[in-house]
Amino acid sequence: MRIKWQDVALTAALLVLGLGGTRFAARLQGAEALDVPAYLLIALAAAGLLFRSVRPLWTVGVTTATIAVYLALAYPFGPILMSGVAAMYAVAVYARVEVAAACALVYALAILPWWNDSITSWITWSAGWILLPVAAGVLMRLRRKSAVDVRERAVISERLRLAQEVHDVVGHGLSVIAMQAGVALYVLDRDPAKARASLEAIRDTSKEALDGLRSELDTLRGSAPLTPTIGLDDVPALASRMREAGLEVSVEVQDVDLPEGHQLAVYRIVQESLTNVLRHSSPGVTASVRVYTVRGELVVHVTDTGTPSTFTEGHGITGMRSRAEALGGTLEADGSHGFSVIARIPLPS
């Protein structure tokens, strides 16, 4: 059990307030001068706040019992009650709402036998000195929980983003490598030059995939810049690697100024779409990539000349759709006329 310095500071403040202010409160109420037991009880009530963060029920128990004994001995009302206010706030912040409500009721009933005014006055006092601190504590607890939930959602979102990046980088790289390895094995004896070119493509693709994976891991460790470095200018090079793997690709990319986040999303959508074509299409199928703007939207259109077919959306299409929706856009995948992906993303103002 570790006591926080904030709790020590609060205890010291209540101790000074109680020891210094109760004498003046006694004079205002026409009470006799306080004796040593009164000051000891004031100090004990304040000391209960030392454990408010780690043992809030201890705090309530010690403070409530001490204040009840203090009033039972006919000592005057005074700053000792501030320790009760602090205890009610603490239990509402650090314990469940039901527990806080029960503690508030117990504290109010502990004061009642020594209350000299009317029951209406006691109810009014309880509302101001007990219910308000509890309500403030509950609101603070909810605010802290909301802040934690926001941070947890941000962490989960970042983990999902990194998982998607790894899926796109590694999945694309392995698909190209598998295709090139098949080509190299097929022509190894008849066309060594072609086999060599395929092996060089495997080397380059694996290096790119490893660099991408290393970059994402560095980002996760916090040792790399969080800004993306891949954009529209890299789409032609992506198409070139696909051609080397055996998929003929035509590319038409409109020159448009986009933020890096938009450029990365477009690149990954094109990359995943072409990877799917490479992975699932039959020999002789060609693909086309068009990136253009129309009526305030950026359109990414990837199609192939394959035969109509049905398909089940996997992680790749789900990831592409998530990228588009994260930027306020939409993505549709269709297999009725060959594989087709159309993403529409609003242009940033």
Model confidence at 228: pLDDT above 60: no
Which residue in 349, 348, 318 sits closest to 333, CA to CA?
A: 318
Say whether pTM exceeds 0.75.
no
Q: Cα–Cα distance between 327 and 347 in angstroms, integer?
A: 9
Inter-axis angle of helices 192-221 and 235-244, nearest 10: 140
How many CA atoms lie within 13 Å of 121's alpha carbon, on the beta-carbon side? 7
* Pair of tokens at residue 202: 């495997």
Contact assessment for residue 242 and residue 281, using Cβ atoms and an 8 Å cutoff: no
Model confidence at 141: pLDDT above 90: no
Per-residue pLDDT band for 227 (boundaries 50, 70, 90) equals: very low
Q: Cα–Cα distance between 106 and 108 in angstroms, integer?
A: 6
User: Which tens digits make up the pLDDT trace of 250-278?
Assistant: 999 998 888 988 998 898 899 888 888 87
Instruction: Give me the pLDDT at residue 90, please.
Output: 92
Mean pLDDT of 21-25: 81
Mean pLDDT of 60-66: 94
Tell me which DSSP letter residue 95 carries: S
Which residue in 182, 180, 333, 320 sits closest to 242, CA to CA?
A: 180
Instruction: Give me the pLDDT at residue 179, please.
Output: 63
Contact assessment for residue 228 and residue 264, using Cβ atoms and an 8 Å cutoff: yes
10 Å CB burial of residue 56 (0-12, 13-18, 19+) is buried
Higher-confidence position of 116 and 225 = 116
Contact assessment for residue 238 and residue 277, using Cβ atoms and an 8 Å cutoff: no
Which residue in 178, 174, 170 sits closest to 198, CA to CA?
A: 178
3 state SS of 223: coil
10 Å CB burial of residue 322 (0-12, 13-18, 19+) is middle
Q: Which residue's entry shows tokens 């209960």?
A: 48
* Pair of tokens at residue 198: 């395929």
3 state SS of 344: strand
Per-residue pLDDT band for 75 (boundaries 50, 70, 90) equals: confident
Instruction: Give me the pLDDT at residue 199, please.
Output: 74
User: Which tens digits make up the pLDDT trace of 149-171?
Assistant: 776 776 566 566 666 666 666 66
Higher-confidence position of 263 and 191 = 263
User: Which tens digits make up the pLDDT trace of 110-126?
Assistant: 888 888 777 888 888 78
Contact assessment for residue 34 and residue 22, using Cβ atoms and an 8 Å cutoff: yes
Contact assessment for residue 317 and residue 278, using Cβ atoms and an 8 Å cutoff: no
Instruction: Give me the pLDDT at residue 196, please.
Output: 74
* Pair of tokens at residue 314: 């996997």
| Average pLDDT value for the chain | 82
Q: Phi and psi of 307, rounded to 5°?
A: -80, 150
Mean pLDDT of 18-23: 84
Q: Cα–Cα distance between 324 and 218 in angstroms, integer?
A: 25
Tallying the residues shown for the chain, one arrives at 349
Model confidence at 44: pLDDT above 90: yes
User: Which tens digits make up the pLDDT trace of 81-101?
Assistant: 999 999 999 999 998 888 989
Instruction: Give me the pLDDT at residue 61, please.
Output: 93
Q: Cα–Cα distance between 5 and 34 in angstroms, integer?
A: 30
